[in-house]
Amino acid sequence: MSGPVASFDELPADLLARVDAAGLDPQAVYRQIVTALEEDLPGGSVDVTSVATIPQRARSIGDFASREDGVVAGLGVAEMVLRVVCGESLEVIERVEDGARVHAGEVVMRVVATTRSLLTAERTALNFASHLSGIATATSRWVDALAGTSAQVLDTRKTLPGWRALEKYAVRCGGGVNHRFSLSDMAMVKDNHVIAAGGVVPAYERVRAAYPEVPIEVEVTDLDELRALLEVGCERILLDNMDDATMRAAVEITAGRAVLEASGGLTLDRARSVARTGVDFISVGALTHSVKVFDLGLDLQEQA
C-alpha cells in the first residue's frame, strides 16, 4: 500500500451521487480525504506495520461499530476513504444512513477488503466519521431539548478550518439548521461592527444601502436597540446574552415583525427555558467548536 490507489474518476458513481445529494461537493471531500491520507502516508510511503504483519492477499471483514448511543454522520465520507485506499478490493456489505440513531454495540458499516488496505484506511475513516458523528449527536440533544417548542437550533461559523462544509452537514444530520456558510451569504452585524459604525441603526442602514439583496442580521444587547431596529425594518435580530425575562419582553415587542435568534453562552440545561420565551432560533457555537468525538471503532472478523 503506497498512498491513495483510486483517483476521483475511479470512485463509484453511486457513491459520488450520494455525497452530492447530501449537499457536499464530492471533489472537495475527495481532496480533503487525500490531504488526510498524506498525513499517514507522506510522499508515497507505506504502512510499515500492516505490510510487515499481514500477507498481501489476505482479506478480512471489517465491522465499523458504535461504542455508545448517538447519531451517526460521515459514514459516506468514511466509505469514500475506504474506496480511495482499498480500491476494487472493497465491498460494502451494509451501512446505516447518516442521521440514523444508533446504540452501543451496533454495527454501522460492514465491509470486506484486503486486510492491509483496510487497516491502513482505518484511522482516517474513523477520524472523519467519529468527529462528524460527535457533532450530529450533540446537535440531536439540542433538538430533543427543544421538542414541542417552535425554536430550532442553529450552528455558527465556529468551525475547524477546512471542515466547515462537513461540520455543517453533520449538524443537519443531527436535526439542526445551518446559519450562514460564509461572510457573503448574509450580513451579520456584531458588536464590533456596531461600534465601528456608530450604532445598530447606522450599521444596519449602511449594509442595506451597500447590499440591498443580502439578508441582514443585527446583534442587540438591550431592548432599546431592538426597538430602534424594528422601526427601520430590520427583519432578523440576534439577542445577545439576554436572560429569559428580557427575551420574553423582546418577543412581545417584536410581535412577529422580525425573526429572533438567541445567542451567547447558552447551555443545554437552559435550552428549553430559552425556547419557551418564543424566540425562533437558538445558535450554539459549541455544536462544532467544543464537540466530543463519537466513539466508533473497527473490529476485524474472520478472513473473507
Taking only the tens place, the pLDDT of each residue in 74-126 is: 999 999 999 999 999 999 999 999 999 999 999 999 999 999 999 999 999 99
The 107-114 sheet, strands edge to edge? 91-95, 107-114, 59-66, 296-303
- Residue extents of the structural domains in the chain: 8-135+292-303, 144-289
**Amino acid at site 220:** V
Distance between CA 78 and CA 1 in Å, rounded? Answer: 18
DSSP 8-class letter at 67: S
pLDDT of residue 304: 57
CATH class in words for 8-135+292-303: alpha beta
In the chain, % of residues over pLDDT 90: 96
Nearest 10 degrees: Cα torsion 146, 147, 148, 154: 50
Catalytic residue ranges: 123, 158, 190, 219, 240
What is the pTM (predicted TM-score) of this model? 0.95
pLDDT of residue 163: 97
Q: Residue 47: left (phi > 0), alpha (psi -120 to 50), or beta?
A: beta
CA 86 to chain centre: 26
Q: For the chain, how are helix, strand and coil distributed in percent, rounded to 5?
A: 45, 20, 35
C-alpha cell at 268: 443545554
pLDDT digits (tens, 9 = 90+) for 179-196: 999 999 999 999 999 999
C-alpha cell at 212: 440591498
Distance between CA 56 and CA 20 in Å, rounded? Answer: 34
- 271-to-67, 223, 293 alpha-carbon distances in Å: 27, 21, 22
pLDDT of residue 224: 98
Decide: 298 and 63 in contact? Cβ < 8 Å.
Answer: yes
Return the SS3 of 51: helix
pLDDT of residue 225: 98
Segment 154-166 shows an average pLDDT of: 97
Q: Is it the case that residue 198 has pLDDT exceeding 80?
A: yes
Smallest CA-to-CA distance from 165 within 27, 281, 265 is with 27
Cell numbers 415583525 correspond to 257
What residues have CB less than 8 Å from 20, skipping those under 6 apart?
26
Q: Is it the case that residue 57 has pLDDT exceeding 60?
A: yes
Task: Examine domains 8-135+292-303 and 144-289 and report if their fold is the same.
Answer: no
Helix (H) or strand (E) holding 28: helix 26-40
pLDDT of residue 35: 95
Q: Is it the case that residue 1 has pLDDT exceeding 90?
A: no
Segment 11-37 shows an average pLDDT of: 96
pLDDT of residue 2: 44
β-bridge pairing 236-240 and 216-220:
parallel
Segment 250-266 shows an average pLDDT of: 96
User: To the nearest whole number, what is the mean pLDDT of the chain?
Assistant: 96
DSSP string, 183-249: TTTSEEE-HHHHHHHTSHHHHHHHHHHH-TTS-EEEEESSHHHHHHHHHTT--EEEEES--HHHHHH
Please tell me the CATH code under which domain 144-289 is placed.
3.20.20.70
Distance between CA 253 and CA 223 in Å, rounded? Answer: 8
Q: Is it the case that residue 3 has pLDDT exceeding 90?
A: no
Residue 71, beta-bridge partner list: 101
